[in-house]
Every structure is written in C-alpha cells, then in structure tokens.
Amino acid sequence: MAIKLNTLFQYLVPKDKKFFPLFNEMTDILVQIASHLNQVVNVSTEERESIFMLIDELEQKEEALAHKAHLQLSVSFITPFDREDVYTLTKNIDDVAGCIRGSASKMRLYHVDKMTKPIKKLTEINLEACVLIREGVKASKNLKKIKTITNACDQINKLENKSDEVFEKAVSELFDNETDAKTIMKYKEILSGLEKATDRCKEVANVLEAISIKYS
C-alpha cells in the first residue's frame, strides 16, 4: 500500500501549480534578505539605512507569502506533501526571515558602527544556509532529487554547528575584553539573534529531511 501511495504522490507532485511557486518565491526572497544583511555588515555606516529598509520590505513580502500558503491549504484538495509538512515548512522559512530581519533591526536600533569578525562570519553562515534551503526546497519538487535534499540538509546541520562555535567563542571574548555593560548587551543580542537564525535554518532542514524520508 505504501508503494502505491508513493507512486500516486510522484504522479501528483508535478501537477502542483500553487505551492511550489510560493515555496520558490519565498526561498528566493529569503536568500535576498540574508544577502542584504551580509551586505550591511560590510559597508559603511552611511550606506546601511537604505539596506535596512529593503530588508524590512522583503521580510514583509515573505510574511505575506507564508500567509498566502497557509490560506491555500484550507482550499486545496491536493497538496505536494502532507498538510502538516506544508504548514511547517512555510512557517519555518518565514521564521528564518523574521530572525534575520530581527538581527538587522537590532543593528539599526543600537546604532552599531563596528561590525566585528564574528558578526560578519555569522551573516556569511546564514547566507550560505539560506542558499542551501532554496536548493533543498526546489529539489523537493522532484522525488528523484532526494540526494540533493539530504546533502543540503547535511550542510545546513554543519553550518549550524559552526554557528554555535562562532557564537560561543565571540561571547566569551566579549566578556573577557569588554568592560562597558551596554556594549556587551548590544553585541551579545546581535550575536544571539544571528545564531538563532541559523537554528531556524536547521529546523527547515529537519522538515525537508522528514519529507525526503517519507517519500523516498
């Protein structure tokens, strides 16, 4: 029976014209958001404001697409995955975008002028993880690309471990070398937000991995 259901699933997936376009648009925007944040930490203070505004606009678009996908669930008879997986995948992608935007907002709110090496490294890690999310999500349309999905998930897991290492070392050095309490608070919150974004990327990977196992 399981084989018949999987065969039926493979037959139905290519016909999906609603959810995969939404998934693709969401992940494209997610990569843009992560790319812009990586840009923020590598440009002058004067150049940042316009990029912050763009990140806000993109995150709002991302949120609207996630909402549209959730509404589509209530009216669609055929979905590419289990309804719970569709809901969780869109929610987790949106959560990543929200975390990255939250980090940008803290940089803006706290008027952080100096972007440290750990901050730059964490934004690079998040950008790489978001690119892998896009790769994994796009591959999920074709069940013959299970290896592409699992490879992307494995790499995201490795990036999440790296993010933990960078975060822990950065916080340790912050407390060792900085004496001003406000400065410690500002940088710790930004570092924490960036590390949390990578955790959310791993949650997306977990959903993709579960989908690949169900339908492999």
Q: Looking at the domain assignment, is residue 210 inside a domain?
A: yes
Specify if 9 maps to a domain.
no
Q: Which residue has the tokens 């316009």?
A: 50
In a domain, 38, yes or no: yes
pLDDT at 89 over 60: yes
Identify whether 127 is part of a domain. Answer: yes
CA distance 215 to 85: 12
Positions of E strands within 8-146: none
Please check whether residue 42 lies inside any domain of the structure: yes
The packing angle between helices 83-109 and 45-73, to 10°, is: 160
- CATH code assigned at 92: 1.20.58.220
- Residue range of the domain that includes 198: 17-214
The answer to which of 43-47, 80-84, 199-203 has the lowest mean pLDDT is: 80-84
Cα three-residue angle 21-160-167, rounded to 5 degrees:
130
The most distant pair of C-alpha atoms in the chain lies apart, rounded to whole Å, by 65
Residue 170 has pLDDT above 90, yes or no: yes
Total domains in the fold of the chain: 1
Question: What is the model's pTM?
Answer: 0.90
pLDDT tens digits, one per residue of 58-76: 999 999 999 999 998 888 7
The answer, yes or no, to whether residue 5 has pLDDT greater than 60, is no
- Asked whether residue 104 is assigned to any structural domain, the reply reads yes
Question: Does a structural domain hold residue 134?
Answer: yes
Q: Which amino acid makes up residue 209?
A: E
Determine the Cα–Cα distance for residues 174 and 200; give it in Å rounded to an integer.
Answer: 24
Helix 83-109 with 117-139: angle, nearest 10 deg: 160
> Distance of alpha carbon 145 from its chain centroid, rounded?
21
Q: Which of 115, 126, 141, 120 is nearest to 201 (CA)?
A: 126
Whether residue 64 lies inside any domain: the answer is yes
Q: Give every CB contact of residue 136 below 8 A, 6+ residues apart in sequence.
A: 148, 149, 152, 153, 156, 204, 205, 208
For the purposes of burial, counting CB atoms within 10 Å of the CB of 45, is it exposed (0-12), middle (13-18) or buried (19 or more)? exposed
Helices (H) and strands (E) in the chain, counts: 7, 0
The pLDDT tens digits of the residues spanning 158-167 come to 999 999 999 9
pLDDT at res. 12: 45
